[in-house]
Structure 1
């Protein structure tokens, strides 16, 4: 494997981003072929659905044209779970782990690829980050699955209960949203244990690996990096706001929260306030939500999780950089300042580029699907943003998508997972200019 990693970039002149994307597409193809095997399903599965499931799992999205619980055998479910794990933590992360176990030396090329995969500024400390990432992730998933056993085993028995616990723990931590129950987690809408464990797994996976490592190393909030502080405070503010907004908007909707008891309303609002940013689990019927709630969830899915996390979206830090840039513009400030630190100009440009390219992608997909699909505009928009944010929530459109619709949604899922900037680097050649053109004046606004 060490030899494979060294030679492929050189032979095909691939940069780290291109090599990672090649590995990612290979994972999808292998996953689709495995899911197409007779041993993987109860009955037959079309190629388009095989690739859709493989893409959804590898991108940790969770959109499913068919119910995974009844469609796949144990082998098929294991394939999906491993695709989710590889897609969430990164293919190269596991490759580097195997190389370390074998006692091989990690070269500069491998470190550059890991740097790209984990979105790190330099190659320094990436191997240590990989070690911590794997240890933290496996430990958190195991703890989550053990606790879930206390709830799932009484529900479905020992064998299925243990497997369901581990499957949902992996799915939640990697923010995939795949559930083996036909109604998602609707059976546990008022269950405190399931709500707390799944939501904590979602938050742990969505907050970002670098934040988890920073918390482990420094323990105190004051000594954390600015990125970690922004992620922690931002996650808290967004989650609390989401819970309150969903509770207020849905409390009188008899098709969702309105039919629940007072305490169950709180649990449902709590869970559905945390899940939409990237996880895709649901304890209430998403298709029955008020239009205002749907629009609010679309915003949450677009924002997404944290950088270097298992989630998608434009990322929470990107959103805050843009938000503070707008505030600075309104106030007439020369620089964008967050936490008494000036945000670099290239970070602002990159953030605006990510948001702009994301909106363009969503608009193109929206235009195509409004032509090909017989569904409401809101359900199509919800499906596309859910795919882009690698969330996995749906208003029921996924199973009714046409062949072209599935191809488009698969493309959006891949775009959301890889990221707008990485995709641009894949198809364009970066040229650094060592000169500057004269300034130009434009009338804007």
Structure 2
């Protein structure tokens, strides 16, 4: 009898199932009695939502992390944030290397898919550098935040808060513990006028959002004396989006008595830049986003949808995809056939992938927002904001998430999951395999414009 072929999972399927397993384990641990304060045990849906939000480094919460969870529950959230930020494949590879286990070719392909790396060569050294960068940045952030928090709380609590928030913010997780001190869902409001905390948090969000490949490229610049096209595009677009977003927020919110209005000029500038950076996956805020003008909220929706860089801890359609879309528009308006960035031409496959990814994301966000509008009694802009935040794993909220019905929480959990692994990755996981085209059809013409 002929031997049956052993079923082999594709890298996309392994990524999808792996994240699902991490979320399931996290939900189980958070549903245990020791994870929550006495009398506040989480139901399965809320535990699943919280685990999904942490593993997908989103930051949307149905309960206040600082007051609802015990130290055990908070540590579970912290571990999910770390695994979700680095990627479970990265963590698994590091464990395998620690036990001197050989990394197979298939595992290397999964790592390549997870990190969005363009080649399979040099992956293991990159993984080691990723861990080194992450731990160094998180340790530095924890130390800096500890120095500031120690002025407001006991030393032990300041150490714990420094570690938790450095890991959460660098991984663009958006979870915070300040509800224990300043009241539930207070966020970083107490430090809205603190330039030191603002700068440290913005730097952590920025480093987590540009991606490990860009960080490696920057650190190697002294030796190589050149930056890759990917790094140039990511840094350029990050700077433009941050500056434009901050200026628009400052102009709109300057006279809003509930947000920037009561602040002085310097604090307004800090708050504007803070939310422009944080909206692209950071998930933390120093002023109440729910009290912003609707035009500001819509701007944040756009920034969240664009998101961070590929290979980073952030979500969204990715900043490089947005750059390609802008490049395509500019090239078409100039009558050019090619998209040129920094004197380099982009391949057609990258353009098609960018357009596909954008349409899949738009279809997902709009469809889910419409479904939520039928399930929830809330303004459509609020529902669109929460849905975009879930997809982009941004974590910003207008305060609706804790009030959602059970079915809406499950729906947003699915959106967070899709946003973290990427709609295209899920499509590849569902697809049984690519078929080789045997025919090349004749070219046809469609009238456009």
TM-score of the alignment, normalized to the shorter chain, above 0.5: yes
| Aligned equivalents of 1:424, 1:174: Cα separation in 2 | 25
Q: Is the 8 A contact 1:294 1:382 kept in 2?
A: yes
Moved over 4 A (4+): none
Partner of 2:211: 208
Q: 1:416 aligns with which of 419, 425, 433?
A: 419
Give the CA RMSD over aligned residues.
1.3
| Aligned equivalents of 2:124, 2:247: Cα separation in 1 | 40
Partner of 2:107: 110
- Could you tell me how far 1:427 is from its partner in structure 2? 1.2
Partner of 1:3: none
Matched, 1:442 2:442: no
- Could you tell me how far 1:68 is from its partner in structure 2? 0.6
| Aligned equivalents of 1:58, 1:329: Cα separation in 2 | 40
Matched, 1:191 2:194: yes
Q: Secondary structure at the match of 2:414?
A: helix
| Aligned equivalents of 1:98, 1:307: Cα separation in 2 | 24
- CA deviation map 1:392-440 (0-9, x unaligned): 0000110111111111111111111111110110112322314311112
Partner of 2:182: none
> Counterparts in 2 of 1:88-237, with a 5 A limit?
88-181=85-178, 182-219=185-222, 223-237=226-240
> Counterparts in 2 of 1:16-415, with a 5 A limit?
16-42=11-37, 43-181=40-178, 182-219=185-222, 223-415=226-418
- CA deviation map 1:122-163 (0-9, x unaligned): 211111110000000011000000010011122221222111
Q: Is the 8 A contact 1:221 1:229 kept in 2?
A: no
- Could you tell me how far 1:221 is from its partner in structure 2? 9.5
316-325 vs 261-270, which moves further: 261-270
- CA deviation map 1:289-313 (0-9, x unaligned): 0111111111100000001000000
Q: Is the 8 A contact 2:58 2:173 kept in 1?
A: yes
- Could you tell me how far 1:274 is from its partner in structure 2? 1.1
Partner of 1:4: none
The alignment of Structure 1 onto Structure 2 pairs a total of residues equal to 436
| Aligned equivalents of 2:126, 2:92: Cα separation in 1 | 14
| Aligned equivalents of 1:11, 1:21: Cα separation in 2 | 20
5+ residue gaps, structure 2, are 179-184
- CA deviation map 1:223-269 (0-9, x unaligned): 10010011111111111111111111100000100022222222211
- Could you tell me how far 1:332 is from its partner in structure 2? 1.0
TM-score (norm 1): 0.96
Q: Secondary structure at the match of 1:140?
A: helix
